[in-house]
Structure 1
Amino acid sequence: MRQYTIHHDGVTIPVSRDGEGRPLILCPGLLTTQADLRELIELLRHDFDVVSFDLRGHGLSSAGDRYSFDAFLGDFTALMAALDLPAPLLVGHSLGADLIVHYAAEHPDGFDRLVLIDGANPVPEPFITEADLPEFRAMFNDPALLQEAEQAKGTPHQILLTGPDILDLNLEIDSVRAEILDRYRKFDRPITMIMSTSMAGDSTEGRTLWRNQNWRNGVDRLVRELPHTQATWLDAGHDLLRTHASDIVRIIRGGNES
């Protein structure tokens, strides 16, 4: 394994590179670290030269003075410039998927294809409405979760974002996804979507059922409008990178061979 350090916007970002083959950049999602993706990276490295990293305020990266979408995108763009790899495959999960779509829109010739895992979805309606805010505020300020985050500081799994940081970013992602179709229209490279059937949980009632249907409606919309997009649904939750790593690698390999 080769290791690098990228410095951007006052943040230090650790980068790891492992394996042989075509270059693949793995962009993690919100609250996910390189350490969480160990199994996926181990499977991918047999076919790809895998580059992984931690987002600012995650894992072994240092804290940032802001945790906005533009801040994360700036870090990713700096990473890509530093690596300067020829036509890499870009793989992103959740927030990471949105980041690579925005990067692709600005650099339409700077990558081979995209694999979007449970993210970058042009959902018809925002996930968090005004009525949902109390529920999400309570979720992101759960004392047990805050204690767990505190205990993880200084470890490969650390998360330095606060509950309000996370909520604000989720609200911003809703706004980003409301306009993401315009980003997709700026490039025409192949897109593979790997989506979870239970993104919001496995309840068949109330807001959970609605959120999961909204998620599916967004993907159906994208596939309808962009013929170079293929979608595969996995019977999984939003943590499918951990629970379905082998399925994800199989789908990525299949697209690599086509």
Structure 2
Amino acid sequence: MTVRSDSGIQCFTVRHDGVAIPVSRGGRGRPLVLCPGLNCTQADLHELVSLLRRDHDVVTFDLRGHGLASPAERYSFDAFLGDLVAVMAELDLPSAPVLVGYSLGADLAVHFAAERPGTVAGLVLIDGANPLPEPFLTEADLAEFRAIAEAEAARHASLTAEDIVGLGLEMDVVRGQVLDRYQRIDLPVHVIASTAIAGDSTEGRAPRHNRLWRAGVERLIREQPRISADWIDADHGLVFTHAPDVAEIIRSRLVPC
């Protein structure tokens, strides 16, 4: 059942793999589907979504175990990809949408587009789907990452710190193979990347992570010159701290229908 709010936002639920996925749709203009990332909900992306709805018909949703979505028996990249596939299959849009993904959502968008040609009009990838030249998480990073995961798990009713750590390690494997997925995509692709994904500290693991992230984006542009990129002087929270900049880049880089 679809419910329309006083503001004109349509809300409905997609049921898939035993999970109830809440979906919202609103705005006007070109269809755009926004896929959130790990530890991120559509509510977290409210400012960016509101800005994009001024001139786009925006669909967004919560991945399993996040926000208003129900818990699941498994949390893995393939399971999250299944959530995106299920949502896309339920949409009745007037034309193929632009698929925008943030963080893990960017990786999901690349895999979706590579496996289902003709279903999307273009990709905008925000701080994700990065072909890292080496793993992001090493043994030296795990203690710090586990502490971050414990803090993030406190925000969720479903995902545990172990789930989040496991997904972080899995994403290193996924990104190590993502160039193959890019090679299957014949679409406009634009990357929006943070200049300092791990923050501006000159101590600890941050400098290595920042260098590695930049190296991955530069590798992507070098090996896939048809892909364009913009950098935002921010950390990985750029969709929250710089939502107007992100929205403006999306608008300016999308090819009109």
Asked if TM exceeds 0.5, the reply is: yes
Shift of 1:205: 3.2
Q: CA deviation at 1:84?
A: 4.5
Deviations 1:12-70 (A, max 9, x none): 00100010111000000111111111111111001100001001000100001011000
SS of structure 1 residue aligned to 2:254:
helix
Select which of 24, 37, 41 maps to 1:16: 24
Query: Over residues 208-229 of structure 1, what are the superposed CA-to-partner deviations in whole Å (9 max), with x where a residue is unaligned?
Result: 1111010001011111111221
C-alpha separation between the residues in 2 aligned to 1:68 and 1:240?
A: 24
| Cα distance in structure 1, aligned partners of 2:157 and 2:208 | 29
Could you say which residue in structure 2 is the equivalent of 1:155?
A: none
Alignment of 1:176-255 (within 5 A): 176-255=174-253
Counterpart in the other structure of 1:32: 40
Question: Conserved in 2, the CA contact under 8 Å of 1:112 and 1:189?
Answer: yes
- The aligned runs of 1:100-119 (5 Å cut-off) are 100-119=109-128
Q: Output the amino acid matched with 2:141.
A: D
The answer to whether the Cα contact below 8 Å between 2:141 and 2:205 also exists between their aligned partners in 1 is: no
Q: Distance in 2 between matches of 1:131 and 1:256?
A: 40
1:101-180 equivalence runs, <5 A: 101-142=110-151, 148-149=154-155, 158-180=156-178
Q: Deviations over 1:179-203 (max 9, x none)?
A: 0000000012111101001101211
The whole-number CA distance in structure 2 between the counterparts of 1:139 and 1:241 is 19
Distance (whole Å) between structure 2 residues aligned to residue 97 and residue 175 of structure 1: 15
Structure 1, gaps ≥5 residues long: 150-157
Distance in 1, Cα, partners of 2:144 & 2:34: 31
Distance 1:66 1:197, change over 3 A: same
CA contact (8 A) 1:41 1:50 kept: yes
TM-score (norm 2): 0.92
1:132 Cα deviation from its structure 2 partner: 2.1
Measured against aligned partners, the alpha-carbon deviations of 1:158-183 in whole angstroms (never above 9, x if no partner) come to: 45210000000000000000000000
Q: Tell me how far apart the structure 2 counterparts of residues 8 and 35 of structure 1 sit (CA, whole Å).
A: 21
**Equivalent position of 2:4 in the other structure:** none
How has the CA–CA distance of structure 1 residues 110 and 30 changed in structure 2, closer, same or farther, with 3 Å as cutoff? Answer: same
Contact map agreement 1:31 1:159 (CA 8 A) in 2: no
C-alpha spacing 1:141/1:41, structure 2 compared with 1 (3 Å):
closer
Q: Helix, strand or coil: the match of 2:187?
A: coil
Q: Could you tell me whether the CA contact under 8 Å between 1:20 and 1:48 is conserved in 2? A: yes
1:40 and 1:241 in contact (8 A); partners too: yes
Report which of the two has the higher share of helix: 1
AA in 2 matched with 1:63: P
How far did 1:256 drift?
Answer: 2.3
Q: State how far apart, in whole Å, the 2-side matches of 1:135 and 1:242 are.
A: 23
Percent sequence identity over matched residues? 60
Q: Higher relative contact order by CA 8 Å / sep ≥ 6: 1 or 2?
A: 1
TM-score, normalised on structure 1? 0.92
Question: Is residue 103 of structure 2 the alignment partner of residue 94 of structure 1?
Answer: yes
Aligned CA-pair RMSD? 1.4
Instruction: Tell which deviates more after alignment, 126-135 or 4-13.
Output: 126-135
Is 1:77 paired with 2:75? no
Verify the 8 A CA contact 1:114 1:190 in the aligned structure 2.
Answer: yes
Q: Which amino acid is the alignment partner of residue 127 of structure 1?
A: F
